[in-house]
Structure 1
């Protein structure tokens, strides 16, 4: 794939989808729907695209807005598909496991699927109807996208959430959902990527992460679900909990400080020297946890959230050591701003795999 047209590109799942597309080397063409819909622009976006992915939807509004919004969005996209001179060969719909369950939302999602399936049939495209469960992931909107976002936000701000309705949730990380929508992961494989957990179980996991991470320690991330849920929690702690202070012990022999305590899972440590004025990095990770620790010298660590102008910078020194953990899907780099050689330690939670590096070029 080289070009993919996406509705809802500015939303929670759309943001995650764009990050996955960037790793795949594909361009995301955003399609505005609703009041901002422009038939000419939408048709141009789908014309010649390798795939169209419909993510946009309405899930929290009045019953009328939910019904009209979901059905209306599908109708607008269907009209653009039918008008395209070179229609896409694949149309993907980010549907919901609630589709057809009798609720206003479920019935609207089901009707939208029918509309898009009809358009795909008319243009000779494959229609992929992906019934997504409860999604969680970095930078979800608290009190809106998911209970994981609400709990993470509250815990990161020192509050103690309570569970009012404990029930089982079927959870899927947004990056896994993005891979399914892109076709990188077959739809039948999605079930194996899901995790069933109670609301109280999710809260207990997040509180456990917070207790350890509050001391600068990394919880066990041997399980992919724990890694993804921890990365979700971390996104709500940044930048207020960075850098992580390290205790430096010094005497006549020199100095000593711990860099990291990891409670489980693989890991890899590396070390670099950097001459004055040179910058390293300028990339991002979708899943990998990475920690920078300056051992000697002076450095500026800068980070920018993908698809935004939000840049956060920290000036760090080996004289007062502090660790900075890179949030997933934030571009980051480190620059030697001192007059001497910079010594830096790097730790990641996985062993580098050249075939799957999870290191995507992106300038801060």
Structure 2
């Protein structure tokens, strides 16, 4: 996949989709819509692109704004799509299970899809209508994107979220949605959706919060639990990136418990690094990973994908702290001392060279 035009690239699902596209080595053009739409910029991005992915939409505003915004964004992309010499052969629309349910948002999503479908068919492009359920994932916006984000935010803040209306949810992790949108998974029927009630979701997240606050890792053998845990960690990392560890010492030396894990296929590793050398420079889409410097001094650096801010943590084996690497944050570790650096790593999976989930990206 060489080039993709993407709307809504700065939103929650857009961020996840861009991380997935980067693994494929795609050249992604993020197109603004609405008042910042530039038809010439859109035409340049669409001309010769392999895929247009239309994510941009309005779901939280007045009824008039919801309807007008969704239709405007679709019409803007339709205008650009139908006026380029070489339009993309595939046009993907991020639709919603609410489409056609009689609500203003559902009607607007359905009508916007019709607009984009007509434009795609007029240029001979395949129109892929991806109907998405309730999405959850890392860095969702609390009180906006989904109830999962709100629950995680409140739990991390030490508050006690409650369930106002308990109902059945169909949940899909944003990275699985991204795979659908970029075409690495064929149909929504094969995507790993999860059925859960609102109260059941909250109970799962409370268990994760309780176990993680105790310095332990929950059982991650179930994919849904792993995805919920990564979602929860994205909030906890921002609130508490460093986790002090209890160190027991006597004349023989010292003992520090790194981590306890309940089930799963976790893997512990360690590395030695000579002074001045930097390791890493990559991110993961799904892997859970923890760093712990056992001996020497190091600087651990992390950058959230598609942002410029780099977070640095200067750590030492004299005062061990564990730092988790959030998914979709590129990271590295540099030996800043004069001696060999000894670092312990833990991941939730066994390394698979055919599917390493390690995407090169400089911090």
Common topology (TM > 0.5): yes
**CA-to-aligned-CA distance 1:71-104 (integer Å, 9 cap, x gap):** 1111110010001100000000000001011110
Task: Indicate the residue corresponding to 2:4 in structure 1.
Answer: 4
C-alpha deviation, 1:189, in angstroms: 3.7
Alignment of 1:258-337 (within 5 A): 258-337=257-336
Aligned twin of 1:95? 95
Given that residues 156 and 239 in structure 2 are in contact (C-alpha distance below 8 angstroms), is that contact kept between their aligned partners in structure 1?
no
Measured against aligned partners, the alpha-carbon deviations of 1:263-319 in whole angstroms (never above 9, x if no partner) come to 121111111111111111111101000011111111111111111112211111111
In structure 1, the partner of 2:59 is: 59
Q: Is 1:142 aligned to residue 121 of structure 2?
A: no
Q: Secondary structure at the match of 2:314?
A: strand
- Give the whole-Å Cα distance in 1 for the aligned partners of 2:304 and 2:103: 36
User: 1:90-141 deviations in whole A, cap 9, x for unaligned?
Assistant: 0000000010111101111110111111011100000000110000000011
Return the alpha-carbon distance in structure 2 between the equivalents of residues 188 and 274 of structure 1.
44
- Equivalent pair of 1:291/1:347 in contact (CA under 8 Å): yes
Q: Number of aligned residue pairs: give it.
A: 363
Structure-2 residue corresponding to 1:187: 187
Superposition deviation, residue 188 in structure 1: 4.2
**What corresponds to 2:44 in structure 1?**
44
Name the CA distance, whole Å, in 1 between partners of 2:239 and 2:162.
23
Aligned to 1:228: 227
Q: Deviations over 1:239-285 (max 9, x none)?
A: 33222111111111111111111112111111111111111111110
| 2:30 matches 1:22 | no
1:198 maps to: 197
SS in 2 for 1:83: coil
Contact 2:120 2:127 in 1 (8 A): yes
Say if 2:131 and 2:188, in contact at 8 Å, map to a contact too. Answer: no
Contact 1:235 1:327 in 2 (8 A): yes
Q: Distance in 2 between matches of 1:165 and 1:122?
A: 44
1: CA distance, partners of 2:84 / 2:189: 32
SS at match of 2:92: strand
Counterparts of 1:75 and 1:100 in 2: how far apart (Å)? 19
Separation (CA, whole Å) in 1 of partners of 2:98 and 2:188? 18
Q: How far is 1:336 from its partner?
A: 1.0
Question: Partners of 2:110 and 2:239 in 1: how far apart?
Answer: 42
1:154 aligns with 2:150: no
- TM-score, with normalisation over the residues of structure 1? 0.98
Separation (CA, whole Å) in 2 of partners of 1:162 and 1:240: 21
Residue of structure 2 in register with 1:115 after alignment: 115
Normalising to structure 2: TM-score of the pair? 0.98
Instruction: State the Cα distance separating 1:28 from its structure 2 match.
Output: 0.9
What RMSD, in angstroms, separates the aligned Cα atoms of the two structures?
0.9
Residues 133/188 of structure 1: CA separation in 2 closer, same or farther (3 Å cut): closer
Report if the CA contact (8 A) 1:239-1:312 is conserved.
no
Q: Equivalents in 2 of 1:87, 1:160: separation in Å?
A: 51
User: Which runs of structure 1 show a deviation greater than 4 angstroms over 4 or more consecutive aligned residues?
Assistant: none
